Amino acid sequence: MLDVRIDRKEFASDPEAVLRGIAFSVRRGEIVGLLGPSGAGKTTLLRILLGLDVSFSGAVKCDFRRVGVVFQEPRLLPWLTVEDNIRLVVTSAMPQPDIGFLLETVQLGHAGALRPQQLSLGMARRVALARALAISPDLLVMDEPFASLDARLGSALAEGVVTWARTTGAAVVLTTHDLSQALERVTRLLILAGEPTTLCADVPVAVSGDAALYAKLLDNFTFLGADSNGKSPEQELLSMPPPGYHQDK
Amino acid sequence: MGRIDSATRDRLLSLLGFVAIWWGGARLTVSPALLPGPQQVALFAWRECLNGALPAAFAATLARVAIAFVLAMFGGGVVGYLAGRSRRVNAWVDPWVVIGLNLPVLVVIVLAYIWIGLNDAAAILAVVLAKAPTVIVTVREGARALDTSLAEMAQAFHLPMGRRLRFVVLPQLLPYLAAAGRSGLSITWKIVLLVELLGRPSGVGYALNLFFQNFNVTGILAYGLAFASLMLLVEGAVLQPLERRATAWRSHA
């Protein structure tokens, strides 16, 4: 289980708090979406739960043994091939992955011998996903994982991650600012908003077409302000399919 | 047979020009002992090779250069890395580095011989102390330029320390280490010659001292130029290919 409690987080350059009063837990098998507008501190929150940022008041307790990470940028080593980048994070104590199979899974079966500089951003992000899955994580943390992929590929990969998580029982925490995408995939939504950012709502997303869920989200989403695509939260909500509905691509 | 590119041809012509000027100068001097011609110097070097004096002197000097070079690179590399990663370490190291950079090499050598004695340990220590500050400064810059996002990736995946150093840190430091190594070799061998000239009974520096006392310009030129050529060969045949290999991934960009 992952237990996160952030009483207050501020940056050295700005005494104003950026995160305040955020507490939640993540259990095995859950797919938790952190939803909030750009600049709300979602990445900061992920950095804290990964142990990369320890300058905050609060506590993070993580019982998961292997944590796979997909950062917003791919963060591949340019001097290693794609295969070696994936192999790098696998130690001898871990189950040894079939790297060819992993690359096939992210539709990059041909790219094992290439170097990151020879990949597009979308390809590099898929390698980063394969790298995170290579350690057979019991917690997978992803920061806007499908942002730079085309809609069809992003949807296919998101579906793949959901299937993988359901099969293995691993937990997933992902950030997104796309409500409709989040609702299609996650089992729980944490809505972050306000100044400083607080946890506005912790909503289970299990029941399809649940009118009460819509109402609750709409209620909370008004805190978020306009999304980066220019739509208001209400427009965003009205334009999306109901939870549980999967549009044929 | 491959064609020689214009830059190589110009270099060869320039080198030939140097030999021609030397030869012309030697013809014009009143005394051949003051400036012997290239052929006399080459012949002297060949004779010294045959009687074993030149290889023995080269071996002694090369051993000192190799030991001092490795120690200065390793010690300077470690200190430079730590200084680049920690402001506190840098605050401690920086004044020493500034003093080291500005202290005349001759002072370091003389003090090492006085305090430690006329032996190889003092000679090598003097060379290391004279060379290490430049390695520290170069590697410190490299450590400051390390990509923090890659370090975070390594931390998030809990990579073992050895793997982090080998695959994440070292490849980023290599261009800086290569720069320190190339400038380091040329400085190191020149300091070693000075150290030998001042207080060792073997090596090229010792031979140069003997030739100086006997006013043997042919010997000075033969040993000096032959050793400089050997060092250029080491740089061209060993250090540069190593550097190219270490940074080959950049060509895929």
Domain segments of chain A as ranges: 1-63+176-244
Phi, psi (degrees; rounded to nearest 5) at B29: -70, 150
Q: A242: pLDDT confidence band, cut at 50, 70 and 90? A: very low
- Other C-beta atoms lying within 10 Å of the C-beta of residue B141: 15
Q: What pLDDT was estimated at residue B86?
A: 94
Compute the distance between CA of residue B40 and CA of residue B19 in angstroms, rounded to an integer.
12
Q: Whole-angstrom Cα distance, residue A155 to residue A249?
A: 9
The C-alpha of B245 sits at a distance from chain A's nearest C-alpha, in angstroms, of 11
- Does B42 have pLDDT greater than 90? yes
Whether B28 maps to a domain, the answer reads no
CB-based contact A52 B153, cutoff 8 Å: no
CA distance B120 to A85: 46
CATH number at residue B75: 1.10.3720.10
Per-residue confidence band for B83, with pLDDT thresholds at 50, 70 and 90: very high
Note whether B165 contacts A: Cβ–Cβ < 8 A: no
Amino acid at A46: L
Residue A231 confidence class, pLDDT cut points 50, 70, 90: low
B8 is a domain residue? no
How far is residue A171 from each of residues A130, A158, A220, B170, measured CA to CA in Å?
16, 14, 25, 34
Q: Is residue B202 part of a domain?
A: yes
**Which residues are bridge partners to A93 per DSSP?**
none
- Smallest Cβ–Cβ distance between B153 and the set A71, A78, A118 belongs to A71
**Residues B155, A91: C-beta atoms closer than 8 Å:** no
pLDDT tens digits for B124-155?
999 999 999 999 999 999 999 999 999 999 99
Structure tokens at B114: 């006085």
DSSP classification of residue A247: -
For A94-143, what is each residue's pLDDT tens digit?
888 999 999 998 889 889 899 999 998 889 999 999 999 999 999 999 99
CA distance B246 to A79: 9
Q: CA of A7: how far to CAs of A25, A45, A197, A201, B218, in Å? A: 15, 12, 11, 16, 80
Structure tokens at A248: 């044929």
- Asked whether the predicted pLDDT for residue B179 surpasses 90, the reply is no
Q: How far apart are CA A119 and CA A127, in angstroms?
A: 9
Least reliable range by pLDDT among A42-46, A54-58, B26-30, B119-123 = B26-30
The sign one gets for the Cα dihedral B3, B225, B52, B63 is: negative
CA distance A53 to A34: 18
Which long-range contacts does B241-247 make (Cβ < 8 Å, 24+ apart)?
Answer: B242/B178, B243/B174, B243/B175, B243/B178, B243/B181, B243/B182, B246/B171, B246/B174, B246/B175, B246/B178, B247/B174, B247/B175, B247/B178
Residue among B157, B159, B171 whose CB faces A79 most closely: B171
**Which residue would you say has higher pLDDT here, A166 or A235?**
A166
Beta strands A188-193; A139-143: pairing state: unpaired
Cα angle for residues A54, A87, A89 (degrees, 5° grid): 15
Residue among A46, A75, A84 with most chain B CBs within 10 A, to mutate: A75
B81 assigned to some structural domain: yes
Residue A31 clears pLDDT 80, i.e. is over it:
yes
- For residues B209 and B197, what is the distance between their CA atoms, to the nearest angstrom? 6
Q: Is the pLDDT of residue B223 over 80?
A: yes
Q: What are the distances in angstroms from CA B235 to CA A249, B14, B186?
A: 61, 20, 9
Query: Which one of B157, B167, B253 has the shortest CB-CB distance to A69?
Result: B157
Contact B157 A50 (CB under 8 A): no
Cβ-contact B203, B191 below 8 angstroms: no
Using the beta-carbon criterion (under 8 Å), do A52 and B155 form an inter-chain contact? yes
Distance CA B173, CA B84 (A): 11
A14 vs A17, A41, A44, A224, B149, CA distance in Å? 8, 14, 14, 22, 22
Q: Residue A151: its pLDDT value, please? A: 80
The beta-carbon neighbor of A80 closest among B152, B153, B167 is B167
Domain that holds residue B216: 37-246
Would you tell me how many other CB atoms lie within 10 Å of the CB of residue A161? 24
H or E element that contains A97: none
Within 8 A of B159 by CB-CB distance, chain A residues are 88-89, 91
Mean pLDDT, chain B, whole residue set: 90
- Measuring CA to CA, which residue among A34, A49, A75, A7 is closest to residue A139? A49
Q: Please tell me the predicted confidence (pLDDT) of residue B251.
A: 67
B19 inside domain: no
Residue of A67, A79, A136, A139 to mutate for B, most B C-beta atoms under 10 A: A79
- Provide the domain count of chain B: 1
Put simply, the answer to whether B160 touches A91 (Cβ < 8 Å) is yes
